[in-house]
Amino acid sequence: MLRTVIVKELRMSLRMPAIYVVSLIFCTLLCGALITAQRSQYMRLREQQQAEATFRHQWETLDVDNAHGAAHYGTYVFSRPTLLYFFDKGITDFTGNIYRIEAHKQHGFLAPPVPVSGSYIRFGSLTIATVLQLFLPLFLIFLCFDMYTSERESGTLPLLQLQGAGNSLLLKGKAVAATLLAVLLLSIGWITLVPLFMMQLHTQYIHMGSLAGLLAAYFMYAAFFSLLSIMISSIAKRSGTALLVLLMIWLTAVILLPRVMSVIAEGRVQLPSHFIVQKKMSDAEKFGLDGKSPRAMRQQHFNDSLLKKYQVDSISYLPVNAAALWMQAAEDYNELIYEVYIGGVDSLIREQNAYVAYARWIDPFIALREISMGLCGTDLNAALHFQRTARIYRNDFIRQLNHKLAEGGKVTPDFYRQMRPFVYTPPTTESVYKRLAPAFMALAAWLCIPLVGLFFLNRRKTILY
C-alpha cells in the first residue's frame, strides 16, 4: 500500500505543469552557472599557468649580482585551485590566490576588484552552489507545499481513508515522494559538474571524501525543505497558508538571517582600518614593539653580538657581510611585527566569522554554506592557510638570498634556478572535516526537525479534514 501511495504521488507530480516549469527554470539557472564556471575555469587556469611560467622564467634568468637586489625584485606565487572551486567560489573573489614575495615587505591578500553591484553583494557570483543553496529550496517548496492540503481541499481525504490509506500511510508516502523529488532535482544539479570534471586543466586533485561530504550536505539540505513542506502542508488547512508559511521560512533563512548575522558580527567585532594597522607596524619597525627599542639601537646590539661571536674589534674585520646579516635580522623582526599586528587582525576576522558560524544552529543555509565553502577550499580558513604557507615560503626565500649575500661572491643565474619553486599543499581532508563537524551536526539537527514533526503527526489515528 505504501508503494501505491508513493507511485500515486509521483504520477500526480509529473502531471502537474508546475514541475516542468520549475525544472525548466532550474535547468536554465544551472546551465547559466555552468557556462559561467567553464568560462571562468578556462580563463583563470590559462592565465595563471602563463603567469606562473612567466614569473618563474624571469626569476631563473635573473641577471643580478647582488642577491639582496634580487630579493627586492621578488616574484609571485599562486595557489592552484581545485575543480570544486568552480562549484563554489566562496570568498576567493575577495581574498584572491596570489602572494607577492618582496624584501622588507609582507604583502597580504591580492585579488582583482570585485564588481560593485547590489545583486553581487547580496548573492555573490552565479555558481552551481549558489543555485542549489538559494533556489533549490524554493523550487522544492513550490512542488511540495500542497501535497497534503490539495487532498483536503479536493475532498479526496475521506476516499483515501475508506480505501485503507490512513494518516500514517499517507504521511509516509508523501514524505518519501517529496524526498525523491528532492533527489531528482539535486541529481540534475550534480550532473552539471560532469563537464567541469572533464576539464581537469592544471587543477589540484579532488579528494573523493570532499565530494562525498558535499553530496551528503546538499542532500540533507534538500531533504529538510522537502520534508518541512510536507509537515507544514499536513498542518495547514489551506494551500495558500502553507505556501505563505514556507516562503516566509525560506526568505528568513536564505535572505534575511545571513545578512543580519553579518551586520551583528561587524558591530560586535570591529576591524581597525588598514591605515591604522600600517601606521602601527611602521612605528613598531622604527621604535620597536615595546616603543623603546629604535632601529639604530637594535642594529647596534646586533653588531655587538657579531663582534663578540667572531671575537673581533671592528665590523670591517668580520669574515661575513655584516650588512647582509643585519638585513636578515631586520626581516626576522619585521616578521614578528607582522605576526603581532596582522595576526591580531586575522584573529578579529576569525571572531567575526565565529559569530556567523554560531548562526548555523538557527539557520540551515548558513550551516550548508560553511560546509560547501570548507570542502571546496574557498572559505576563510583556506585563504589564511594559503597566506600562511606562502609567507613561510617567502621568509625562507628571502633568508636564502640574504645568507648568500653574507657569504660573498658573485651570484649567477644558476643560484636562482636552484631555489625551489612554490608548491602549495592545501589542508588535509581529515582536518577540514574535523573543523566542519559542528556544521554537519547542525545540518543533521535541522533535518531532524521535520522528521520529528512528521513522527508525531504520524501518530494521529485519523486524518484531519
Tens digit of each residue's pLDDT (9 = 90 or more) over 133-167: 999 999 999 988 888 887 777 767 666 665 666 66
Query: According to the model, what pLDDT value does residue 375 have?
Result: 92
Q: What is the mean pLDDT of each run of 10 residues along the chain (465 residues)?
A: 74 79 86 79 79 88 84 86 81 84 78 47 70 92 86 69 66 87 87 67 63 92 94 88 94 92 87 87 90 90 89 84 88 90 87 85 94 91 90 91 83 86 88 94 95 82 47
Per residue in 226-246, pLDDT tens?
999 999 988 888 889 999 999
Per residue in 261-300, pLDDT tens?
888 888 888 888 888 988 999 999 999 888 888 999 999 9
Query: According to the model, what pLDDT value does residue 95 have?
Result: 82
Query: According to the model, what pLDDT value does residue 122 have?
Result: 47
Query: According to the model, what pLDDT value does residue 448 have?
Result: 94
What string of H, E and C letters represents the secondary structure of the chain?
Answer: CHHHHHHHHHHHHHHCHHHHHHHHHHHHHHHHHHHHHHHHHHHHHHHHHHHHHHHHHHHHCCCCCCHHHHHHHCEEEECCCEHHHHCCCCCHHHHCCEEEEECCEECCCECCCCCCCHHHHHHCCCCHHHHHHHHHHHHHHHHHCCCCHHHHHHCCHHHHHHCCCCHHHHHHHHHHHHHHHHHHHHHHHHHCHHHHHCCCCCCECCCHHHHHHHHHHHHHHHHHHHHHHHHHHHHCCCHHHHHHHHHHHHHHHHHHHHHHHHHHHHHHCCCCCHHHHHHHHHHHHHHCCCCCCCHHHHHHHHHHHHHHHHCCCCHHHCCCCHHHHHHHHHHHHHHHHHHHHHHHHHHHHHHHHHHHHHHHHCCHHHHHHHHHHHHHCCCHHHHHHHHHHHHHHHHHHHHHHHHHHHHCCCCCHHHHHHCCCCCCCCCCHHHHHHHHHHHHHHHHHHHHHHHHHHHHHHCCCCCCC
What residue has cell string 525544472?
23
Query: According to the model, what pLDDT value does residue 120 have?
Result: 42
Residues 362 and 107: their CA atoms lie apart, in Å, by 37
Query: According to the model, what pLDDT value does residue 198 have?
Result: 65
